[in-house]
Copies of this chain bind each other. A is one copy, B any other.
Amino acid sequence: MDAIDVLRAKRDGRRLSPEQIRWIIGAYTDGSVPDEQMSALLMAVFFRGLSPDELVVWTQAMIDSGERKDLSSLGRPTADKHSTGGVGDKITLPLAPLVAACGVAVPQLSGRGLGHTGGTLDKLESIVGWRADVHEGAYLRQLREIGAVICAAGNDLAPADKKLYALRDVTGTVESIPLIASSIMSKKIAEGADALVLDVKTGSGAFMKDPDSSRELARTMVGLGQAAGVRTVALVTAMDRPLGRAAGNAVEVAESVEVLAGGGPADVVELTLALAREMLAGAGRSDVDPADALADGRAMDVWRRMIAAQGGDPGAPLPQPAEKHVVTAPATGTLTRLDAYALGVAAWRLGAGRARKEDSVSAAAGVVWTAGVGEQVTAGQPLLELHTDDPARIPRALEALEEAIGVDTGEVPLPLVIDRITA
């Protein structure tokens, strides 16, 4: 096999053979095909796409660069969720213990945030003592005994993706549906769950800005899941405004705990329950109503055990910011715009996110807000509260928020759940 033949074939719009795909993914992972050839191929894929058949083989080759985990020894159904990322999207935090409380194990291998969307692990690390790294034996034991684990993925999980993702990041080849879909699905399939629910975000704060691209990504990923024998469903959900009332790290943990305690913002509760029902249905437990497990405290019990198992103290106070800055409502009327992207950038600039992989994040940084879209606000009332450890960060965060808030602008927010995509 020769990388140039593969490159030319894709460049000229010819279909790659399964042998070609398996060879080039393997050879790139082991270093025998260099970055400059793979980046040219990725750009050719950006322009030419991958057919559904090519994409199934491509994704499988990425999975086969590592190991697909076998969770059958748990003796109970398993399900996981993946979100394409949004602002204030802390749903994994209440969802994993909730589904586990309903009898379905949740093996959630997660990542850190980059740019304006937060990372699940970054949020959980604001809990004193909590550790993202769980070794293989402890991982299976926690899944068996508690039913839920949220931790960092090991290096054996689709290592091809790790290398490809870093390359795409610097070569302008991130924004390609087959490349996004294979990146997400290779890791999620390798994780070994029986069922998978995808939360594909759409809107300013999401990777995909419009519902049609989000639907296309959802369909592509559902197809890949089904082809790999994982029962997969996707919900396309709104990310024109942020989820809940908080975006950041500790502030999102606090909100998640509110939801687990039976309270919390209505949208977070609604989406958590909708995704929990899909996970339970995928795992063959559609007879169970997750609302009960929220109401009676079982989900909270699993949360406490899950946090404690990874060294965290679920009762410890969360970090507080050195500085808070209030932004007031600009007018009286209905809040019709609270732009997700702007809030995400503001939280990021306050210290909640990172610009480069090697940066650290501030646990206390973030934004909380007192009203969501569709609600009444009064001119001058406190609307946003900016949290940061470094007051010098506030001006740039305020800059990001300049066009973020709209009152009575006539804008109509997207419904929370826009579409449901099945095989």
Contacts and interface: CB of A to CB of B under 8 A. Distances in A.
Interface of A: 3-4, 7-8, 11, 34-44, 46-47, 167, 170-173
**How many copies of this chain does one complex carry?**
2
10 contacts: A3-B170, A7-B171, A7-B172, A11-B46, A36-B39, A37-B39, A39-B39, A39-B43, A40-B171, A40-B173
A167 B35 CA distance: 11
Interface majority SS on A: helix, strand, loop or mixed? helix
A173 B12 CA distance: 11
B42 A172 contact: no
Given A35-B36, A36-B38, 12 more contacts: A3-B170, A4-B170, A11-B43, A34-B36, A35-B35, A39-B43, A39-B171, A40-B43, A40-B172, A43-B43, A43-B44, A47-B47
Contacts of A170: 3-4, 36-37
Given A172-B4, A172-B7, A172-B8, A167 B36 contact: yes
Nearest to A9: B172
A45 to B, nearest CB: 10
A171 B39 CA distance: 9
Nearest to A7: B172
A8 to B, nearest CB: 5
A34 B41 CA distance: 16
A8 B44 CA distance: 14
Contact of A42 (B35, B40, B41): B40
Nearest to A4: B172
Contacts of A43: 11, 39-40, 43-44, 47
A43 B3 CA distance: 14
A48 to B, nearest CB: 9
Chain B CB within 10 A, most for which of A34, A41, A43, A167: A43
Contact of A171 (B37, B46, B172, B173): B37
A16 to B, nearest CB: 13
Contacts of A7: 171-172
Contacts of A173: 40
A289 to B, nearest CB: 46
Contacts of A171: 4, 7, 36-37, 39-40
A172 B40 CA distance: 8
A258 to B, nearest CB: 39
Contacts of A4: 170-172
Contacts of A46: 11
A261 to B, nearest CB: 43
Contacts of A40: 39-40, 42-43, 171-173
Nearest to A167: B36
A11 B172 CA distance: 8
A178 B19 CA distance: 33
Nearest to A8: B172
A34 B47 CA distance: 22
Nearest to A46: B11
Contacts of A35: 34-36
Nearest to A42: B40
A22 B216 CA distance: 38
A34 B167 CA distance: 11
A35 to B, nearest CB: 4
